[in-house]
A and B are shown apart, each in its own frame.
Chain A
């Protein structure tokens, strides 16, 4: 029961469901593989034939444009056939369960499912019930995990900082509801980052988050002091309801990343954000578009990292 459900009996990746439990070796292998795919985008013909003839289903039970598009581009560059499905609009409203949907699609000779779902654990559930030849990639499940985002963030950090072993990284904002933050924390701690911090008001930090191996801060001046990497999290508008926060204005004043607050970090610190950004809520435009921002390169690297994941899973 407690064996890692995403590894096969040889300890190789069968699915990518979460970064938790992956070895540093597997993570580095994915990042190294991504390295080899970055130049593909710069060629005239942006394709390699690694997954020719494979059918990859983008299975999005929750709306997403950016993540779905990057997976689609990544799959197409690997020469796979890509089928996009937005389930929220069709089957679910007719009462079909997740597994019914998946079984139906599996019958259409799918080789891989890229799954996004609003519930934590949905990708695990699907992975447990698909035929052994089908691979599942979690493209975000509830608050739990978004492993390809976590990996592309590691790729970005490695690209700019080279080594993980002397870094201080601060993750700022709504950690409570963030699958991205959880995946980043697992990745950073696994790769040996000595100091991972989370910064936010107590209403946005989950109970016992320190046990995931992070230091907890509630103010930006101390939380950002001398860090090498600042990762801002998206704050959804709905968080203003339900008594988590009084207002976007107050949040921006105390936790929004402005040039003043960024000055607490090291001068060469990079600023990251998984997107989509809420300018003026968690990040100031002058920082988002400024010289320390690597937010757009994150998106570019994301395609190479997703190509790496898909080719490692299905390219054997």
Chain B
């Protein structure tokens, strides 16, 4: 299949391109940019007038819910949601049921995902068996089966000695360790940021120090073990300052933020809106502003969707009993664009934070459009306004605090390995 994409604004942060350029694809790879190679006869020409052509999005956290939670979402529904959101690669945390702690489970997930021919799936292996925080998993075996790094997901790891040893063992093989920093005791039974909203609504609090104490522990152990640590979904301004200091000292630490936390804060809980029940909790306004700036300044490396489809029944409960999380694969692009617009950040820099930077964290030679590399692309209409509502979302999860809001930016074509895996030409203005 040879594809000619013409008239689009091509943005590739890695190669420093932001210009109207044609792009030529053959045999699943980017063949050329700019001038058509000699004797190139396209099987298909896509007119991308008015669209941005960029590397496919790489999402550092998307729960697919398989195996074990198929009533919340299935691989089919969520992989469809991914490509509808312009996401061509995604990392899934190991908190499935059973957790991804055995090579067989990982192989099956990879196989199932591959057979759907949509986005690429990079599973995180469980750091400890059954995510119980007691016994290490067979990390080397899991790595061979396809795990890209190791994580405890949101499960508590209370025993500091186990954490130290898990990091040291992972460091032996050069595996990355991904941790969402949260002290299990300080966060116990908490459901909202320990601030004025939780106080007023009588919700059990999670203090900021639940995050900072964990960050401090992890950074000290990273220094000891030499483990490559990735901190997932930071939520407090104090934690950002700690990461900035660690980076300044040369520690190989990276971090991300969930896209919801770039825009929302504790006030958005309103009158117990369970769609705003997220983990980590939405923090204060100053935390949110610090997250927005840290992403701009590069202290936070990347932004992820933290995609967590939750079935409606699990949200139709009193706030504390409602399951935490929000659907996000289809909101990652428009919410990142919204952040960029509001912060006056160039489009290319915004795109880097959902393509090039996550690829770097994963150690993948991806997230760019260099000729000879896999043609994973997202073509989106940056002007297209759409309303976030249940029927507009492909994900089985319809739960998001942005329900009812109008956002700008929508994927029109998504290509993986040079194949069009999603197209919504009705959205294109010049289809």
Contact = CB atoms under 8 A, between A and B. Distances in A.
B199 A119 contact: no
A125 B199 contact: no
Contact of B199 (A97, A129, A142, A206): A206
A197 interface: no
Nearest to B320: A119
Given A5-B271, A99-B316, A207-B207, A120 B199 contact: no
B177 to A, nearest CB: 31
A121 interface: yes
Given A119-B321, A142-B320, A182-B200, A207 B195 contact: yes
A22 interface: no
A212 B318 contact: no
Contacts of B318: 98, 117, 119-122, 125, 141-142
A124 B271 contact: yes
A187 interface: no
Contact of A208 (B195, B203, B316): B195
B194 A207 contact: yes
B202 interface: yes
Given A98-B318, A120-B319, A212 B199 contact: yes
A120 B205 CA distance: 12
B159 interface: no
Contacts of A209: 199
Nearest to A118: B318
B317 interface: yes
A144 interface: yes
Nearest to B189: A242
B270 A211 contact: no
Contacts of A129: 316
Contacts of A179: 202
A248 to B, nearest CB: 23
Interface string B245-278: 0000000000000000000000000111110000
Contact of B272 (A97, A125, A207, A212): A125
A216 B194 CA distance: 17
Interface of A: 1-2, 5, 20, 97-99, 117, 119-122, 124-125, 129, 141-145, 179, 182, 206-209, 211-212
25 contacts: A1-B270, A2-B270, A5-B271, A97-B313, A97-B316, A98-B317, A99-B316, A119-B321, A120-B201, A120-B272, A120-B318, A120-B319, A121-B203, A121-B319, A125-B316, A125-B318, A125-B319, A142-B318, A143-B203, A182-B202, A206-B199, A208-B196, A209-B199, A211-B196, A211-B199
Given A120-B202, A121-B272, A142-B202, 18 more contacts: A1-B270, A117-B318, A119-B318, A120-B318, A125-B272, A125-B274, A142-B320, A143-B203, A143-B204, A144-B202, A144-B203, A145-B202, A179-B202, A207-B196, A207-B205, A208-B195, A209-B199, A212-B199
